[in-house]
Amino acid sequence: MNAKSKRIVHGANITPYAEGGAVLSCEGLTLSTLLGTPYHDVSLEVRQGDTFAVCGKNGSGKTALLLTLAGRMKFSKGSLRILDYRLPRQSAKAQRRVGLGLFEGLNDLPSTQKTADAVAAEFELYGRRPAKADVASYLAEWGLDGEMSKAIGDLTSKKLVELGVALAWVGHPDIIVVDDIESELTLDQSFAILDNIKRFSKARNATVLVGVLEPELAAAADDAYYLSERS
């Protein structure tokens, strides 16, 4: 990949944020449904270039909160700003600036699809038709060159999470949201993924929100919000 293709592409007429500035903030964010309240009265601020962990046990509302902070799920009360956009009124504009990793039940990849085809399809969503060599180069950049010809269903859990991050970056968003870096992984493997995500965010001055179960992982991020303690 050349330098131009790697750079962060900001939206039209949006002034890039100064390093360390807040790119996402919410106050009193609450989601109420007929089945309960997945999260309640969440207030937080995320700064550009940081890896920010949302920590909570299964069933704590972690995934719902991550999707809300990504602009993909409506909330019931409170306020949410993503970059210069106020949600929910400007949700569609905000979504174009936020990339998603793989969320179970939302954007799962077909188990028989080849890794290379998944990457090519993601590029096509942004109007680009990459050559096979371009796909290979992109996967190599993420340490996934050895997985190029494998089916999604044959990837290890670790490689699948890493592929999700790589796919989220295809559109050069300012913010990436990743869920569940622990399923079927050892704690050491999850720490390795988190370390790679932190290096990624610093090298590209991109912001990453990551969902975690273990407080030890949350403590290793630049900042964190603990649902189990505050909701």
Q: What is the DSSP code string of 58-116?
A: TTSSHHHHHHHHTT-S--SEEEEEETTEEETTTHHHHHTTEEE---TTTSPPPTTSBHH
Whether residues 50 and 93 share a domain: the answer is yes
pLDDT of 228 reads 60
Q: Could you report the per-residue pLDDT of 161-184, keeping only the tens digit for each?
A: 999 999 999 988 999 999 989 989
- Supply the CATH number for residue 208's domain: 3.40.50.300
User: What is the C-alpha R_g of the chain?
Assistant: 17
Whole-model pTM: value is 0.86
d(Cα 206, Cα 32) in Å, to the nearest integer? Answer: 31
The pLDDT of residue 41 is above 50: yes
pLDDT of 204 reads 85
Which residues touch 167 (CB under 8 Å, ≥6 apart)?
99, 101, 102, 118, 119, 122
Is residue 6 included in any domain, yes or no? no
**Residue of 163, 170, 158, 165 lying closest to 210 (CA atoms):** 165
The pLDDT of residue 10 is above 60: no
Whether residues 72 and 34 share a domain: the answer is yes
The pLDDT of residue 3 is above 60: no
User: 168 lies in which domain range?
Assistant: 107-172
Of the three residues 172, 188, 206, the one that is the final residue of a domain is: 172
